[in-house]
Amino acid sequence: MPASTTTASVVLTAKALLLDMDGTIVNSDAVVERCWRDWAVSHGLDPEEALKVVHGRQGYATMAVLLPDRPMEVNHAENAVMLARETADTDGVVPVPGAPEFMASIAAVPHALVTSADAALAAARMTAAALPMPAVRVTAESVQDSKPHPEGFLKGAAALGVDPADCIVFEDSAAGIAAGQAAGMRVIGIGPRAAAHNPTVHAADLTALRVTTAADGSIEVAVAIEVAGA
């Protein structure tokens, strides 16, 4: 007989929440895959292999992984072209299931957007998904190093005035999860990509989360998870 499953709840406590955008609160996979498939083919690369490293990184960093012998200035130049194309293409950009309710539930608690998108792309996608833009945000222009480097998350924590150990990161990609962990933060992995990369806890999507504020002002994030039974 197949094992049965039950639902349990894991509760993490924090003072601030740091949110990735693409794949975490906004589903932009349709655009990302259209643009990067075209780019990969134009450079003689296998698009399926390229898509394995695209998510979570800034474009120039993805290019550096896929074309390691190419001058970085060429990657930056092509990334500017890619960003313009992605910003103009919002066809199929939608909120991740549960994102509107999740964003409403965190409106009054310290939180920041930490994304590999630049400011224009972040604005375009958050608008297309009809999600509120956090007042505090760390975008591509704000950092020297792309995820999986922890710089973005550390800057987000600093902007909120919160110790990294008191932050929870929400991420979907290998690069993003690694960045949050390198920053000394706990990571809630969101969606199918996240499960294989050892986040602190994994949620199928944002409908599995409940955010409340404790009496002492701390933020409590309850994550519904499936537990295999006998």
Catalytic positions: 20, 22
The neighbour count for residue 24, using CB atoms within 10 Å, is 29
Q: Identify whether the C-beta of residue 185 lies closer than 8 Å to the C-beta of residue 153.
A: yes
Q: Identify whether the C-beta of residue 90 lies closer than 8 Å to the C-beta of residue 125.
A: yes
Query: Could you tell me whether strands 5-14 and 219-228 are parallel, antiparallel, or unpaired per DSSP bridges?
Result: antiparallel
The neighbour count for residue 92, using CB atoms within 10 Å, is 14
Query: In 3D, which of 206, 16, 224, 207 has the Cα closest to residue 108?
Result: 16
Query: In 3D, which of 125, 171, 132, 135 has the Cα closest to residue 150?
Result: 171
What is the C-alpha to C-alpha distance for residues 140 and 137, in angstroms, rounded to an integer?
A: 10
Query: In 3D, which of 112, 154, 127, 132 has the Cα closest to residue 20?
Result: 112
What is the widest separation between alpha-carbon atoms in the chain?
Answer: 58
The neighbour count for residue 111, using CB atoms within 10 Å, is 25
